[in-house]
Amino acid sequence: MIAIVTRLASGLGHRVALWAALCLILVTALRIATRQGRHAAKAEFAIRTAEARIRALRISREVHHEIKTLSEAERDHRLDRWMRD
């Protein structure tokens, strides 16, 4: 009787250890995937933020250049129109 119980317990122990190992592998793989996804999302956000800043600086430079090249009369006319709107 003791031999049968010992044999069942040892067989069950191997199965439990196998399932525990598989669960640990699955949890580890999910954590790694989540971490990589989070890092990729942060990098993509940083890239989009930098591109938006570059666009804003480029537009600002173009507007500044346009204002500098306008004649004073045209600049006053546009300023008056802008203040009315």
d(CA 53, CA 44): 14
* Residue 54 main-chain phi, psi, to 5 deg: -60, -45
pLDDT at position 36 is: 97
- Residue 85 DSSP label: -
d(CA 76, CA 67): 11
The pTM of this model reads: 0.57
> Would you kindly state where each structural domain of the chain is located, as residue ranges?
2-84
Per-residue pLDDT of the chain (85 residues; tens, 9 = 90+): 566 656 656 666 777 777 788 888 999 999 999 999 999 999 999 999 999 999 999 999 999 999 889 888 888 888 888 888 6
Give ∠ CA 48-50-52 in degrees, rounded to 5.
70
